[in-house]
C-alpha cells in the first residue's frame, strides 16, 4: 500500500470519461443524475442512458436530455433485460479513456471525475479508482474536502487479499471509475450474481490492474430507498451472496496459492459474521425458530467447518434459553462486542479511506 499526495501531470489532452446510466422506472431521478455528470469539470464527459423498457416516462426524459445535451445518448432495450444485463449493454459500447457505471438514482460528487482520472493518469498501472460515497435518502449533504486530500494505491493482488480478509464490499458503485480497456479485458457483470455482481467485478479488475483510492473527500452520493436492491436482502442473505461472488472469483483466479489460502479466510470470516449477527438477535430475544434454523443453514453452506466452532455452540445454547452461558461463551460474547465497537470506530475514523 502506498499513500501519496496528488501530483499533476502535463497531459496535453483532456481525459474522456463515459458514464453509463442504466434506468428502469427511475425517470424522476434521471435528470438530476445526468446533471451531476455533465457539470463535472476537468474532464470530457459523455453519457449513455440505457433504458430497460421502463413503464414510466424514463425513455421520454432520456430523449429530451439527449436532444438538449450533445454529449448524452439514449439506448432503449426492446424488452426488459434486468439490471445486470442492462449494465452490460452500456459498458460493452464504451469507447473512452475511462468508464463509470452510475445508477439513475445516484449522483456524482462535484470534481470526482477529475480527481479519479488525475490519479490514473499519474499511475498508469491503476485500473480502478474509488472513494467515499455518501449514503442519503432525500438530498445529499455535500461536505468540503479535507485540507489534505491524498491518494492510496495498492497492487492488485494486495487489494484482493485485503478485500477477502475483511470479507465485505466497501465500494457502493457510483464512486468507481475504471480504465475502459481494463473493463473490456475483465469482461462484464455476471447476471448469475444479481446481488453481488459488483463484488466479483472489482476482484476481477484487481486481478488485472492496481487499485487506487481518493482520500478525504466524497466521490459520489448513493441513494438509499425502499425500491433499491440493497434494501431487499437480510444480513445472512447478503453474506451468502458475497460468498458466492468470492467463491466464483477464487475458482477462476490464476493465482492458485493465494486463492486456496484466502478461500479459507473468507469462509470463516463470513460464517462467523452470520452467527455474530444471529447471536445479537438472540440477545434481544425476538428471533423465531425458523429464522434460527435458516441462518444456521446459511452459515454451514458458507463454511461447513463452522459447525464445530464456539459460536455455533453459543447459538445452540441461546436458542434453547435453558443453558447458563459458560465462561468460554461469555468470553466470546465480550470479544464479539469489542470487535463490533472496534469495527465501528475504524469505520468512523477511516470512512474516507479505502
- The residue whose grid cell reads 476481477 is 204
CB 42 within 8 A of CB 115: no
142-171 per-residue burial string, b: 16 or more CB within 10 A, e: under 16: eeebeeeebbbbbebeebbbebbeebebbb
Three-state DSSP class for residue 280: helix
Q: Is residue 220 a contact partner of residue 172, using CB atoms and an 8 Å limit?
A: yes
Query: What would the pLDDT profile of 13-24 be if each residue is shown by its tens digit?
Result: 899 999 999 999
pLDDT one-digit tens code per residue, 164-183:
999 989 899 999 999 999 99
Indicate the angle between helix axes 58-68 and 27-38, nearest 10 degrees. Answer: 30
pLDDT greater than 80 at residue 344? no
Q: How many CB atoms lie within 10 A of CB 188?
A: 18
Residue predicted with more confidence, 10 or 28: 28
* pLDDT score at 225: 72
Please give the biggest Cα pair distance in the chain: 73
Predicted TM-score of the model (pTM): 0.91
Q: Which of 247, 233, 163 is nearest to 194 (CA)?
A: 233
Residues 6+ apart with CB under 8 A from 331: none
Q: Report the alpha-carbon distance of residue 223 to residue 253 in Å, rounded.
A: 33
Mean per-residue pLDDT of the chain: 90
Q: Residue 11: count other Cβ atoms within 10 Å of its Cβ.
A: 11
Structural domains present in the chain: 15-231 (3.90.550.10), 235-350 (no CATH)
At residue 110, the pLDDT reads: 95
The pLDDT assigned to 210 comes to 98
Task: Return the residue matching grid coordinates 457539470.
Answer: 39
28-55 confidence digits (pLDDT tens): 999 999 999 999 999 999 999 999 999 9
Please write the tens of the pLDDT for every residue from 227-250. 655 555 688 999 999 999 999 999
pLDDT at 346: 59
pLDDT above 70 for 145:
no
Specify the range with the lowest mean pLDDT, choosing from 67-71, 179-183, 218-222, 318-322.
318-322
Write down the pLDDT at residue 147.
57
Amino acid at each position: 500500500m502506498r499513500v501519496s499526495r496528488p501530483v499533476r501531470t502535463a497531459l496535453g489532452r483532456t481525459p474522456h470519461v463515459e458514464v453509463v446510466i442504466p434506468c428502469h422506472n427511475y425517470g424522476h431521478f434521471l435528470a438530476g443524475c445526468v446533471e451531476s455528470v455533465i457539470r463535472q469539470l476537468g474532464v470530457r464527459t459523455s453519457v449513455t442512458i440505457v433504458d430497460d423498457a421502463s413503464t414510466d416516462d424514463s425513455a421520454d426524459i432520456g430523449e429530451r436530455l439527449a436532444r438538449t445535451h450533445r454529449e448524452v445518448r439514449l439506448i432503449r432495450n426492446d424488452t426488459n433485460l434486468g439490471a445486470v444485463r442492462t449494465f452490460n449493454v452500456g459498458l460493452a459500447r464504451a469507447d473512452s479513456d475511462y468508464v463509470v457505471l452510475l445508477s439513475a438514482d445516484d449522483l456524482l460528487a462535484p470534481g470526482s471525475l477529475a480527481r479519479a482520472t488525475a490519479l490514473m493518469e499519474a499511475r498508469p498501472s491503476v485500473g480502478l479508482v474509488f472513494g467515499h460515497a455518501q449514503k442519503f435518502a432525500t438530498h445529499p449533504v455535500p461536505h468540503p474536502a479535507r485540507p489534505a486530500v491524498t491518494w492510496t494505491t495498492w497492487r492488485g493482488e494486495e487489494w484482493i487479499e485485503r478485500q477477502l480478509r475483511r470479507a465485505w464490499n466497501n465500494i457502493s458503485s457510483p464512486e468507481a471509475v475504471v480504465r475502459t480497456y481494463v473493463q473490456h479485458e475483465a469482461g462484464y457483470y455476471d447476471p448469475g450474481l444479481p446481488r453481488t455482481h459488483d463484488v466479483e467485478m472489482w476482484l476481477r479488475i484487481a486481478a488485472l490492474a492496481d487499485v487506487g483510492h481518493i482520500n478525504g473527500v466524497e466521490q459520489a452520493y448513493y441513494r438509499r430507498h425502499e425500491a433499491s436492491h440493497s434494501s431487499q436482502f437480510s444480513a445472512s442473505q447478503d453474506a451468502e451472496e458475497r460468498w458466492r461472488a468470492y467463491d466464483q472469483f477464487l475458482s477462476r483466479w490464476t493465482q492458485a496459492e493465494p486463492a486456496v489460502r484466502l478461500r479459507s479466510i473468507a469462509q470463516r470470516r463470513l460464517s462467523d459474521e452470520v452467527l455474530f449477527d444471529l447471536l445479537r438477535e438472540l440477545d434481544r430475544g425476538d428471533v423465531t425458530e425458523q429464522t434460527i434454523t435458516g441462518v444456521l443453514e446459511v452459515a454451514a453452506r458458507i463454511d461447513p467447518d463452522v459447525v464445530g466452532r464456539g459460536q455455533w455452540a453459543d447459538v445452540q445454547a441461546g436458542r434453547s434459553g435453558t443453558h447458563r452461558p459458560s465462561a468460554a461463551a461469555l468470553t466470546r460474547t465480550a470479544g464479539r462486542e469489542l470487535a463490533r465497537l472496534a469495527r465501528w470506530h475504524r469505520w468512523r475514523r477511516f470512512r474516507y479511506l479505502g
